[in-house]
Amino acid sequence: MSLDPAYLAYPRRRLGYDHDLYPYTPLPQRAPLAWPGGKGVATWLVVSLEWFPITPSDTPFRAPGHMQTAYPDYRHYTAREYGTRVGFYRLLDAFAKVGARVSVAANAAIAERYPQIIADIVEAGHELIAHSTDMNGTIASGLPREEEAALIRHAVDALTAVSGRRPRGWHSIARSQSFHTVDLLREAGLDYCVDWANDEVPWTFANGLVNIPLNHELSDRQILTVQQQSVGSYAEQVRDAHDWLAAEAQAQGGRILPLHLTPYIIGLPYRMDAFERLLAELAARPATWFATGSDILDAFRSQT
Amino acid sequence: MQEGAPDPGLYDFTPYRGRRPFAWPNGGKVAVWVSPNLEYYEIDPPANPHRKAWTRPHPDVVGYAHRDHANRVGHWRMAEVMSKHGFPGSVSLSVALCQHHPEVVADANARGWEFFSHGIYNTRYSYGMDEAQERAIIEDSIRTVREATGQTIRGWLAPALTHTPRTLDLIAEYGLDYTCDLYHDDQPFPVRTRSGHLISMPYSLEVNDHYGFFIYNMSPREYARTLIAQFERLAAEPSGTVMCIPLHSYLIGQPHRIGAFEEVLRHIAADPRAWVTRSGDIADAWRAAHPEALA
């Protein structure tokens, strides 16, 4: 038995990455960032607002949270709708209580089906970022480039038409991209994406698009649903992260604490009190700067 | 190993009961070594017929970016905490990291860390290699680490834990001292190879941060309590045990985890029963205490 000789050839073994999407710099070697008001921790709340057709698609892959039983899967279809109808409004009220403006990553289908919810988001001063068409709109290599470009345009145009302003940010379903995505996002006129969770401050792709890393490890989905920990443990982990980042920011410059939220996960009655207490605690900390993705982007760009 | 035999014939059975206790060089009862995996995962590696590198079509953005966090952010945070509490690293190294991100390797070397090989990339597996191919990755490992750090590797942790029946014979033939791929004991033991002098260095899957967070789904503080319980138990048993803490800085170096982990290092550093050291030092001390074992 032996392997194809190509398996022991390393054509991209070189200084820097094995791709040309973005350059490498270790965080300690970068100039420190300063957030407005001298705050240390940009506390960035990102809500994924999603519509799951009861007819799931597996092309190119089935989205996390999608239908699981034989058709018709009322169980998951309605539980996801619960998040949009009920949980999300709990979250809007919770954000208002602490004066936090957040980024809402909304499917085009949310705007097309529920324009009222878009109006409520805009009215509260939150940012809308594009999040594909609906939860059948997943992206991965193998999706033809033209189809991917059309999907991105549809997502951006629908939010623009209903909200009256063009989104600047992009969040792929499951953070999944193809090798074309970064260029297609730029061609669609977007300023930033959130999908590459490889850092704790923004950085710029070779083509000029900015990435603001949305940590998947600190998401409600990862901690509560995948790892099946309690909301109390979730809140403790977020507090611990904030403590660490605030201390680090004093010596090394501004950091981001990204909290990725899902209305049908965190917006349940038995979790909301703990989540509201967490928000109140974060709001009371002197290092906290509740910021949208665009706020962070603008602060980053003004310094680089 | 005895290829094809039901018992691979790697070592003799030696029950835990009745062993002669011995002290580590500082008089400690348990040798504690921290093993950061400094790795490079390729974004678009060629396919190995026996194992997929990524679960998703390339680029697997979540998987790739998560590992990339180690080299951009996590390593520096983890390394600072280790240095602060006096813990050197014994690095399981994807040796191509020496080419891709020499900044990380130089930082670890400057901190006095030891390097052993974890293959070329953690996305290139040994499954299916012929002997010449496997010799090529061993020779590449020795040469690459020597050129980048001045160190001669003494140990091996197979790339992504992928082996062939020849691996242990070959690394022994090239003069390596220890393997981290066998999990049969809390103390080093001789391993039977064609050239005879290899020992097993107790590594750990059970208290590996990857297992803690993704197999056992522990919270950061639960993982920290687990490490302390592991240390306390080994330190309470007859002297001469080894505790390894295998880490990935894209996991332990996350902001919600590093604070709890720092408390573990603080706890162990304060306990005189601990000998905080590197894997090669453990191999030397064990050999000195067991001159008969490899005779």
| Spatial contact of A48 and A171, defined as CB atoms under 8 Å apart | yes
B43 touches chain A (CB under 8 A): yes
CB contact under 8 A, A141 and B59: yes
Which positions in chain A touch B130 (Cβ < 8 Å)?
1-3
Please tell me which residue of chain A has the smallest CA distance to B75.
Answer: A26
Number of domains chain B is built from:
1
- Give the closest-approach CA distance of A88 to chain B in angstroms: 25
* HEC secondary structure over chain A: CCCCHHHHCCCCCCCCCCCCCCCCCCHHHCCCCCCHHHCCEEEEEEEEECCCCCCCCCCCCCCCCCCCCCCCCHHHHHHHHHHHHHHHHHHHHHHHHHCCCCEEEECHHHHHHCHHHHHHHHHCCCEEEECCCCCCCCCCCCCCHHHHHHHHHHHHHHHHHHHCCCCCEECCHHHCCCCCHHHHHHHCCCCEECCCCCCCCCEECCCCCEECCCCCCCCHHHHHHHCCCCHHHHHHHHHHHHHHHHHHHHHHCCEEEEEEECHHHHCCHHHHHHHHHHHHHHHHCCCEEECCHHHHHHHHHCCC
The reply to whether A61 falls in a domain is yes
B135 touches chain A (CB under 8 A): no
The pLDDT of residue B196:
82
The reply to whether A31 falls in a domain is no
CB contact under 8 A, A26 and B103: yes
The reply to whether A3 falls in a domain is no
The pLDDT of residue A117:
98
Which positions in chain A touch B129 (Cβ < 8 Å)?
1-3
ipTM: 0.97
Find residues 75-94 of chain B whose CB sits inside 8 Å of chain A. 75-77
B49 touches chain A (CB under 8 A): yes
B110 touches chain A (CB under 8 A): no
The pLDDT of residue A1:
77
Nearest to A196 among B65, B133, B213 (CB): B65
| Spatial contact of A23 and A272, defined as CB atoms under 8 Å apart | no
The pLDDT of residue B9:
95
The reply to whether A5 falls in a domain is no
Please tell me which residue of chain A has the smallest CA distance to B103.
Answer: A26
CB contact under 8 A, B72 and A198: yes
Output the pTM of the full model: 0.97
Number of domains chain A is built from:
1
The reply to whether B9 falls in a domain is no
Please tell me which residue of chain B has the smallest CA distance to A256.
Answer: B255
What does the pLDDT look like over A126-175, one tens digit per residue? 999 999 999 999 999 999 999 999 999 999 999 999 999 999 999 999 99
The reply to whether B18 falls in a domain is no
CB contact under 8 A, B66 and A4: no
The pLDDT of residue A61:
97
CA A262 – CA A46 distance, rounded (Å)? 9
Nearest to A141 among B58, B65, B256 (CB): B58
The reply to whether B11 falls in a domain is no
The pLDDT of residue B292:
86
pLDDT over 70 for what percent of chain A?
Answer: 100
B259 touches chain A (CB under 8 A): yes
The reply to whether B82 falls in a domain is yes
With CA atoms as reference, report the closest residue to A183 among A152, A226, A138, A217.
Answer: A152
Average pLDDT value for chain B: 97
Which positions in chain B touch A226 (Cβ < 8 Å)?
217
- Give the closest-approach CA distance of A5 to chain B in angstroms: 8
Find residues 165-204 of chain B whose CB sits inside 8 Å of chain A. none
Residues spanned by the domain of B143: 30-289
B215 touches chain A (CB under 8 A): no
Residue A96 has pLDDT above 80, yes or no: yes
Nearest to B255 among A18, A176, A244 (CB): A244
The pLDDT of residue B295:
59
The pLDDT of residue B293:
81
The pLDDT of residue A304:
86
Nearest to A14 among B99, B257, B260 (CB): B99
- Give the closest-approach CA distance of A93 to chain B in angstroms: 26
Residues spanned by the domain of A193: 37-301
Residue A217 has pLDDT above 80, yes or no: yes
CATH number where B101 lies: 3.20.20.370
CB contact under 8 A, B42 and A12: yes
Taking only the tens of pLDDT, chain B with its 295 residues reads: 999 999 999 999 999 999 999 999 999 999 999 999 999 999 999 999 999 999 999 999 999 999 999 999 999 999 999 999 999 999 999 999 999 999 999 999 999 999 999 999 999 999 999 999 999 999 999 999 999 999 999 999 999 999 999 999 999 999 999 999 999 999 999 999 998 889 999 999 999 999 999 999 999 999 999 999 999 999 999 999 999 999 999 999 999 999 999 999 999 999 999 999 999 999 999 999 998 886 5
Specify burial of residue B150 (Cβ count, 10 A radius: 0-12, 13-18, 19+). exposed
Report angle CA B62, B65, B66 to the nearest 5 degrees: 80
Region at A125 (left for phi over 0; alpha for psi -120 to 50; beta for the rest): left
CB contact under 8 A, B42 and A240: no
Nearest to A237 among B44, B103, B219 (CB): B219
CB contact under 8 A, B71 and A24: yes
The reply to whether B166 falls in a domain is yes
CA B196 – CA B177 distance, rounded (Å)? 10
CATH number where A279 lies: 3.20.20.370
